[in-house]
Amino acid sequence: MKIVQYPHPALRWAARPLTAIDKQVRMHAAEMLELMYAHKGLGLAATQVALPYQMLALNFTGDPQQRDKEGVFINPVILERKGTIEDDEGCLSFPGLYAKVRRAKSVKVEAYNINGEKVEVAAQDLASRAWQHEVDHLHGVLFIDKLGPIGKLAVRNTLKEFEREYARAQERGEIPPNADIEKILATMAASI
């Protein structure tokens, strides 16, 4: 398992809800947490590791020593958004890219934990931002989509470089053609 980088097709995939939590899902959840910590992230969505289902890992501290703060959430839905705040945001699928993004200051989220229990979470500030960012991923929405015209202009060259590097990796055979990736995602999604 590895984190895919923009413009990998999995990042634009609308993930399917999970209908069961089996051994494979639990294994993926554990791997996602480890990857998130290894890359010093606060969150990681399944689509960022080319899994086409609705699961995300979060730890707002980003500290693997604070495992009591981590969680894996399945089929999350944002029930309520309040207020707005603009702040810098980054993404593990866009290494080194940060931009100002406007998000709700607080959210209320409903999801299932890794044990299949329904949970409701209220989050504010950074935690709210992380929830919104990761839930967006599960719908194929990226933080760059939330930028205003000036923000989009500011990151344009960086995005083009990500696209060039991705194309070079495909030419070298390190990444399969997009059509092949999309077939794999569709096959995996159909088996959920």
Active site residues: 134
Cα–Cα distance between 28 and 34 in angstroms, integer? 10
Write the single-letter amino acid at 61: T
Q: Which residues of 146-182 are buried (b: 16+ CB within 10 A; e: fewer)?
A: bbeeebeeebeeeeeebeeebeeeeeeeebeeeeebb
Q: Cα 80 to chain center, whole Å?
A: 20
**Euclidean distance between CA atoms 26 and 23, whole angstroms:** 5
